[in-house]
Amino acid sequence: RDLTPGGPVLASALHESPYRGRMVEISTNGVTFLLDAQFSEAQRVWLRLENRTRAYAVIRSAEIIRLSRHLDAEWSITCRFDTCLAYHDVLQFGHQPAGSF
């Protein structure tokens, strides 16, 4: 199976995923977002991080390293990227308070 960014399996999975969250923090090493679904720690995920106002997106594989209940229907999920983001990529998201993934 081709799981490289842009490959057919990954592209299909990203477009079909029912999960949409709100990014609250991002760094070169990882991201924290709010989501109304629970996952488990150590779970591996593919993330499509996007800033729609700038028409900018980055795809990264990551591992969930921390989960906590944020509100009744939301979870705060922190992921560590398998490959760090370039500082330029972080800046594309850092100047917008509520990005998405």
Integer Cα distance of 20 and 2 in angstroms = 23
When pLDDT is averaged across residues 39-55 and rounded to a whole number, the result is: 87
pLDDT at residue 54 in the model: 82
- Can you spell out the DSSP letters for 11-52? HHHHHH-----EEEEE-SSEEEEEESS---TT-EEEEEEEET
> Roughly how many angstroms between the first and final C-alpha of the chain, as a whole number?
24
Number of helices (H) and strands (E), helices first, in the chain?
A: 2, 5
Q: Which residue has the higher pLDDT, 53 or 27?
A: 27
What's this model's pTM, rounded to 2 decimal places? 0.76
% residues pLDDT > 70 (the chain): 76
pLDDT value at 21 more than 50: yes
Q: Which residue has the higher pLDDT, 3 or 17?
A: 17
Q: Which residue has the higher pLDDT, 3 or 83?
A: 83
pLDDT at residue 15 in the model: 62
pLDDT at residue 86 in the model: 93
